[in-house]
Amino acid sequence: MTKIKNIVFDLGGVFIDLDHDQAVRRFKEIGVEDAEQLLDPYEQKGIFLEVENGTISADEFCQKLREHTGKDLTYEDIKSGWLGFIADTPQYKLDYVLKLRERYNVYLLSNTNPIIQEGWARTNEFTSAGRPIGAYFDKMYTSYEVGVTKPDRRIFDYMIKDSGLIPAETLFVDDGKSNIEVGRTQGFITYQPQNGEDWREAIDALLK
């Protein structure tokens, strides 16, 4: 059996316990009446997808959302909507990753956007330990920076080329079924946790 040398983690549903209903509710409260159609736990729709695949910037998204709702929404209103997805960010999972980095290359591959990243995840407010998300990974590959969202295989291709990792030597951990399926076709060893799961023992078992 090939020795695993790298681990690639998703963010939402893996490190972050997601609350899709709360996000929908918050966006509806600020006037996004079709929030249920636009918001998805795995891949967004409309302008929500555009900001996650880097087609539009955070400022452009905010302006388009103001036009969509017909309201003069503040950045904080919109940020609060996005952060509605965040139910919890358990510190024990991030501490576990720091231990993994002693033996493996550890990467993040996430569908996300600049409002969640720049406004929260890449600040010291990210966790109770007061460290930004970048402190926990060797390198991060985010959809809005790469310019494509999972499950499009191009984001996997970009990561493989940029990092030099070999999929057969890499464990890919993602809560999205379609993302896992694409990862398998590219030769990754895969694990699909449930949202909120403590997956440490399962990962340990795969690494042995």
What are 27-84's pLDDT values in tens digits?
A: 999 999 999 999 987 789 999 999 999 999 999 999 999 999 999 999 999 999 999 9
Separation between Cα atoms, residue 115 and residue 61, nearest integer Å: 10
Length of the chain: 208
Q: Which of 42, 123, 114 minimizes the C-alpha distance to 89?
A: 123
Give residue for tokens 């060797």. 138
* Per-residue confidence band for 2, with pLDDT thresholds at 50, 70 and 90: confident
Smallest CA-to-CA distance from 127 within 89, 95, 96 is with 89
Strand partners, 189: 171
pLDDT in tens, 97-123: 999 999 999 999 999 999 999 999 999
Residue type at 185?
Answer: T
pLDDT at 40: 84
Give the mean model confidence (pLDDT) for residues 93-97. 98
pTM for this model (two decimals) = 0.96
Cite the active site residues: 10
